[in-house]
Amino acid sequence: MNGIYIFGLIIVSVIVMIIAISKFKQHPFVVLITISILVGVLSGMKVGDVVTKVQTGFGSILSSIGIVIISGTIIGTILEKTGAALTMANTILKIVGKDRSVLTMGITGYITGIPVFCDSGFVILSPISKALAARSKISLSVMGTALSGGLYATHCLVPPTPGPIAMAGTLGANLGLVILVGLLISIPSVAASIIYAKKAASKIYIESNSEDNVDDLMNKYGKLPGALHSFSPILLPIVLIALKSIADFPSAPLGDGALKTFFSFIGTPVIALLLGIFLSMTLLTKVSKDDRLSIMSEGILNSASILAITGAGGSFGEILKSLPIAEILSSSLLQFNIGVFLPFIIAMLLKTAMGASTVSMIVTSSMMLPLMATLGFTSEIQKVLVIMAIGAGAMTVSHANDSYFWVVSQFSNMTPQQAYKCQTGVTLVQGLTTIIIVFILSLIFK
């Protein structure tokens, strides 16, 4: 089956998906599953394989972030119901001021995205995003977009997140140099996301559902929780996941013994978030047992829709990953020598088609490996710039076949149409900003 047909099929499927969800208001779960099956059948897969891949894709994405989503939703519900989210918002606003709350959200994402997977990071930090939006009277779309952009920049450009560290290993790049350059190049990417959030996402008003009436909360709970107690259910998972990243670093800073094993286990997102739940439960000491159960149940119930949509997105991604997209690209784009734009375009097409940033990074770096010498990418800095170009492509763009798209939209109360304007728009701006920076650097460093 020729490449033009495959790419045409993918493009049409994405357009149909957008129209069905946005214009005809069909539920994303039904649309994604239906489109997944149709694309599989029309691409020539055996019917039995199509069903298997739809099920596998649904299960694999939930096996990786399902428990994280449920745990994060429970923590967020507890923080909201006990007034802890309000305490966090008040604390941040006292330090940075209302005028800089969006900047604060972007910077928080930038830092958190270094050790924490972007999906997990957004789930963990969404209570702060909602509370800040409510207290600073800013649309939740602005806060969610800024947070998403901050997390996404370092997720795609800075080890030890899986994609960048895999690319460094594949292309034999100096890991320390990749981290340093990634940290620097991701700064303009985050700045672009903050500007986009303020200029474009602000045109969409989404009211935060965070409880922001101080007097009501004071009457209900007696007094609001302290700042440290309020932040701890969020900070603990972040710190533990960061320690796992340090323990798993190739240089083995914590050795190879029991200490590394301990932090590698306790810093696994599932374990870290479960510990976050237990810590958040200490905020419920003044709540009756029945109310505790009700709050926990509400958190689990709130996660159901997110899980269904995220799983369906995984099904679509699994079908697309089964198509010979990489082979089609290798027979067409690789004949052109357009500098760092070559790895960027390959990664961008793979990302847009398949939805998975990490997969597009790994596949593109593998495709580039045998071509590095031929294309003149031989010095250490050139290897790093190729990695940055691939990371920029892997940002461009996040849409309906990307689980992160649905995590951001659902936790920010965005409709799919609003998410296309905010999440897809900001990732496009970030990707283009990053590749421009990389191109300029490639002209300076040979």
Which tens digits make up the pLDDT trace of 385-425? 999 999 999 999 999 888 899 999 999 999 999 999 999 99
Beta-strand (E) ranges in 198-306? none
- Judged by average pLDDT, the poorest of 147-156, 169-178, 366-375 is 366-375
Mean pLDDT, residues 80-102 taken together: 84
**Which pLDDT band, with edges at 50, 70 and 90, does 110 fall under?**
very high
**What percent of the chain has pLDDT above 70?**
94
C-alpha to C-alpha distance for 379 and 190, rounded to whole angstroms:
27
Question: What's the confidence (pLDDT) of residue 379?
Answer: 92
Q: CA-based angle 348:354:358, to the nearest 5?
A: 70
pLDDT at residue 310 tops 70: yes
* Tokens, residue 167: 């690319």
Burial of 200 (0-12, 13-18, 19+ CB in 10 A): middle
∠ Cα 413 77 205 (to 5°): 25
CA gap 126, 153 in Å, rounded: 17
Mind listing the pLDDT tens digit for each residue in 138-162? 999 999 999 999 999 999 999 878 7
Q: Which of 181-195, 277-291, 306-320 has the highest mean pLDDT?
A: 181-195
Of 21, 86, 126, nearest in space to 401 by CA: 21
**Average pLDDT for the chain:** 88
C-alpha span between 8 and 14 (Å, rounded): 10
- Number of helices and strands in the chain (H, E): 22, 0
* CB-CB neighbours of 216 under 10 Å: 11
Q: Please say if the pLDDT value at position 376 is more than 90.
A: no
Average pLDDT over residues 93-113: 89
| pLDDT at position 190 | 97
Q: Is the predicted pLDDT of residue 331 greater than 70, yes or no?
A: no
Q: Would you place residue 1 in the very low, low, confident or very high pLDDT band (cuts 50, 70, 90)?
A: low
pLDDT of residue 336: 67
Short-list 120, 70, 403, CA closest to 240:
120
pLDDT for the residue 320: 80
Q: Which has the higher per-residue pLDDT, 321 or 196? A: 196
Residue 392 and residue 56: Cα distance in Å, rounded? Answer: 28
- Residue 335: pLDDT band with limits 50, 70, 90: low
Of 165, 76, 181, 169, which Cα lies nearest the Cα of 120? 76
In angstroms, how far apart are the furthest CA atoms of the chain?
71
pLDDT at 10: 82
pTM of the model: 0.81
Q: How many CB atoms lie within 10 A of CB 30?
A: 13
Q: For 206-253, how does the pLDDT look when each residue is reduced to its tens digit (9 = 90+)? A: 988 655 455 565 566 567 889 999 999 999 999 999 898 888 887 788
Mean pLDDT lowest for which of 1-10, 256-265, 270-279? 1-10
**Is residue 427 predicted with pLDDT exceeding 80?**
yes
Residue 135 pLDDT > 90: no
At 80 the pLDDT is 80
